[in-house]
Structure 1
Amino acid sequence: MAIFDIEKDQLTGLSDELLEEFIARLAEAEVAAKGHSPARVSWSGSISAPDGGIDIRVHVLEDEFSTGFLERPDTILQSKKYSMPKGEVMKEMVAAGALSPTISEQAANGGSYIIVSLADDCSPLMKNERLSAMCRAMEDDPNKANIHLDFYDRSKLVQWVRQHPSVMLWLKQKLGQGYSGWQAYGAWSNPPRGADDTLILDSGVLVTLPSQKHQKLSLENAIEPMRELIRATGKAVRITGLSGVGKTRIVQALFDETLGQNALDRTLAVYVDTGADPTLSATAMLDRLIAERRRAVLILDNCPSELHSSLARRVSAEDGNVRLITVEYDIRDDKPQTTEVVHIEAVGPEIAERLLLRRFPGIGQSNARRIAEFADGNARVSLAIAERVEVGESLGQLSDAQLFSRLFEQRNQADNDLREQAEILSLVYSFSISTPEVGDHELELLGSIAGHSHAQLFKSVNKLAERHIVQMRGRWRAILPHAIANKLAASALSNIRVDQLRAVFEGAGRQRLLMSFAHRLGLLHDHPVAREIVEVWLHPDGLLGRLSDLDEMSLRILDYIAPVAPEALLDRIEAELTSPEFNGTHPRYTSQRSTIFNLLRSLAYEPIAFDRCVRLLIRATDDEEENNNSN
């Protein structure tokens, strides 16, 4: 069966409450499709609540309103799970010989009244009988000519829900037929049941938008510009930021009508966490949305760069019916022609502190502040530590090392092997757990550093994932957040011989793992072992010694390790650009030329290096034609 289709008889599995919510969601989507707020639809949400004969009410502030399913700006939809033959129709509309006051009021206002029966599947004749009964119920009302009447059976409901992919996803999920991981608008950030999930707008989170020329906005001031960017751009929007800054919750807030004035249409939201291995791939979902010309906002959480790039190209080439938002802690190889990048960062402990006091009200202000400061404002780290705080306990006397042990061990016994294996896994930015078609298995290579088997490391990866220290993206795993990974990796560098590390990572056919190792080293620029390794790589005979001959992956490695040994890097660039054999850089774009120029510009921010960098830039451009404006 098609993704956005369902058999009509499957609807009979809905309860009374779910049927009412289903009809309400359809009405919301219909109203929103015409540019009105879904808040123009109201419903009780409880079948036992007194409703005055009104299950779902649509009230749009517009004189003329017709969608094909809703024909008047003021519409009442009456939800019925059981069959409604003409006799039941009369009983529903007329009580004690008098027309329901609610229906009479609808007639006076020129509104609409629709009975929706889940049990009925009407032929044209059967439907006409029910409509005739509705008209007979109105025959004594002076305004009977003003009211619009209709009767919807389950075939009509199926026809209606086919128009709205987000509602179809919700429906299939409720019926147990959903595509694992795919959701309509909801609490995507997965707060604990019953927890306050309102967005915290205190200072402590800054947002950088592409249109703001690197100006950083407070979260409160960034919500509306983010919404406008998503509406206006024909490109994919990439929401980036370190783990624990609340990216998913912020994206959820973009659709929240209680926040600001111009929320994105939540009835169009189609969400999935790609890291949870959804049964239907994001590519297949996008293909179907585009093929069927559906209007949707596709949100891909934990979306790898390769998947983002692939889908962003598709979206930018289409007619704009589908908007794409992807979320990830990092971005690389972003293509400006297909992507708008929004970066979110935590800049203090305030947000994490507020979240701790909300989730653990008994923890106390001083404990909340101590944890949030230790976690550097990272909410995920803060929550993991707070779960181990005993009632009445004070954390003021605990060192950073003791707090780190609490985070790592959580409520389990200390496990030195697990800690050592986590340190080894943290040496790389990410690693694969699957068996490659060619080459070495990355877990085996990492395990060989300290004599751990593939099976031992695989088991530890799963344990760490259960403790929320490992995050998963398909076959990829990573120790996150970086505040934790960097501490673990720093310990590993201090306890493993440099020649042993180099032997593992510099072996033939291991360039991807080497690049991932370099990425981690770049985050440990103060560590003496990281500096020692990078300086060896930058030696004239080292891995990165001949800059003009480096391939694309080696250039990325060079970019990653630049902060570790900036003086050695500047020496290497200077030696190459001032060499007697240097004949000038290529006059047009090359990756090597671009990387060298970008690195020189970055290195020039250090006052001690500024003059050297400028002289080298002049030296490089002296050999170029005057009309060359490439980079």
Structure 2
Amino acid sequence: MHPLFSITKDDIKALNDEQARELVARLSMAELEAQGCSRAAVTWGGNQRAADDGVDVEVASTNPIKAGGYVLAPLTAFQVKAEKFPASKITGEMKPEPANTLRRVFDEIAAGAGAYVIVSTQDDVSKKFMAERTKAMADALVGSPHVGKVTLAFYDAQKMADWASAHPTVAIWLRSAVGKPLRSWKSYGAWAHGETDESAEFLFDKGVRIYRSGRDGDLSTLDAVNELRKDLPANLNIRIVGLSGVGKTRLVQALFDDRIGTTPFFDAPIEEMVFQPSVKCRQEIEIAKSFSTSIASRRTRAIPPGFGAGIVKCSAVGVHPAR
């Protein structure tokens, strides 16, 4: 993982109750999507302090889960605590007073060969004390018919930091949540001006034509989406130029919409860079603006030869409206 997206245990400890629970939910959804499973299998929400039968976030996937990940089974229940949670508290959590009987949720987890994970965002423990916590969890099952049928785990702040660092889009959200936003990045969403719903349908305008450097002729918007998707996994830097309002940002947003196009949707972190340009970059932006104004006044459409020269592996794309 690039250091830009690294999360520390101190970042995890800065979360409040609701943020900690949301983090586990977001990470669970990201984990499922990374394995080709539906994020809809994750259930969470409600009042953090409300009675929840010992479950804050539940994963109930109909698909197998790969071994070695952070979601331990297709049916995994997370209990999230934004507090220190030593072994002495675990029995009371799994077998609450006054009855001191095992929570009913363990009947369901055991029947589904599932997992139960306690998350403490304030704990940062050594291997020895981690073992004490997992032993306390196992001891709480003794005397029930569920011994050996439930996978048990305890995640501390470091474990959660490692998990968050594995998913850049979640890491970006987390940094914003703790007041340390990455000012040059923001997660996928309704980027285009005036839009608020990222699931809104992309409307095709046959009058809009797209031109690529090194390619003769124009492209329809759909053809451009398919071509650009082929380039992105190759780590190309793609520069898009055009007059204000012609749909440059909305085009980029459409690249990540799997409802559009025929090219297979690629698996990649979805981000947009919003930067404070350097002097050189500002000069290049002015060139792009000048070029767009020039082609508009001449009512011609093309990409100037050599545009983007000096930029490693750069492909230029021009977006222009119909005459």
Q: Is the 8 A contact 2:211 2:319 kept in 1?
A: no
Shift of 1:5: 3.4
CA 249–184 in structure 1, closer or farther in 2 if over 3 Å, else same: same
Equivalent in the alignment of 1:562: none
Output the CA distance in 2 between the equivalents of 1:44 and 1:88. Answer: 24
What is the SS of the residue equivalent to 1:75?
strand
Please provide the CA RMSD for this pair: 4.1
Equivalent in the alignment of 1:9: 10
Equivalent in the alignment of 2:26: 25
Equivalent in the alignment of 2:236: 235
Equivalent in the alignment of 1:573: none
Q: Is the 8 A contact 1:199 1:253 kept in 2?
A: no
**1:129 is the counterpart of 2:132:** yes
Alignment equivalent of 1:338, drawn from 294, 313, 321:
313
Alignment equivalent of 1:180, drawn from 180, 183, 186:
183
Output the CA distance in 1 between the equivalents of 2:199 and 2:173. Answer: 22
Q: Output aligned runs, 1:69-468, within 5 Å.
A: 69-95=70-96, 96-189=99-192, 191=194, 195-196=196-197, 198-204=199-205, 206=208, 208=210, 214-217=218-221, 225=226, 228-230=229-231, 233=234, 235-256=236-257, 265=267, 268-274=269-275, 276-277=276-277, 304=285, 332=304, 333-334=307-308, 338-340=313-315, 343-347=318-322
Q: Is the 8 A contact 1:305 1:331 kept in 2?
A: no
Equivalent in the alignment of 1:63: 64
What is the SS of the residue equivalent to 2:117?
strand
Output the CA distance in 2 between the equivalents of 1:212 and 1:97. Answer: 75
Q: Is the 8 A contact 2:233 2:266 kept in 1?
A: no
Output the CA distance in 2 between the equivalents of 1:67 and 1:342. Answer: 42
Shift of 1:13: 1.9
| Paired letter, 1:246 | G
Residues paired across the two proteins, number: 296
CA 54–239 in structure 1, closer or farther in 2 if over 3 Å, else same: farther
What is the SS of the residue equivalent to 2:4?
coil
Greater C-alpha Rg? 1
Deviation per residue, 1:535-590 (Å, 9 max, x gap):
xxxxxxxxxxxxxxxxxxxxxxxxxxxxxxxxxxxxxxxxxxxxxxxxxxxxxxxx
Shift of 1:135: 1.0
TM-score normalised per structure 2: 0.72
Q: Percent identity?
A: 31
* Uncovered stretches (5+) of structure 2, i.e. residues with no partner: 289-301
| Paired letter, 2:19 | L
TM-score normalised per structure 1: 0.40
CA 198–73 in structure 1, closer or farther in 2 if over 3 Å, else same: closer
Output the CA distance in 1 between the equivalents of 2:18 and 2:227. Answer: 35
* Uncovered stretches (5+) of structure 1, i.e. residues with no partner: 284-302, 308-329, 348-375, 377-631
Shift of 1:144: 2.9
Structure of greater relative contact order (alpha carbons < 8 Å, 6+ residues apart): 2
Please state which structure has a larger fraction of its residues in helix. Answer: 1
CA 236–6 in structure 1, closer or farther in 2 if over 3 Å, else same: closer
Q: Is the 8 A contact 1:36 1:60 kept in 2?
A: yes
Shift of 1:331: 5.8
What is the SS of the residue equivalent to 1:98?
coil
Output the CA distance in 2 between the equivalents of 1:235 and 1:40. Answer: 34
What is the SS of the residue equivalent to 2:163?
helix
Output the CA distance in 2 between the equivalents of 1:183 and 1:98. Answer: 46
Output the CA distance in 1 between the equivalents of 2:189 and 2:143. Answer: 45
Q: Output aligned runs, 1:35-74, within 5 Å.
A: 35-44=36-45, 47=48, 53-74=54-75
Output the CA distance in 1 between the equivalents of 2:277 and 2:190. Answer: 19
Q: Is the 8 A contact 1:76 1:114 kept in 2?
A: yes
CA 226–132 in structure 1, closer or farther in 2 if over 3 Å, else same: farther
Output the CA distance in 2 between the equivalents of 1:187 and 1:48. Answer: 32
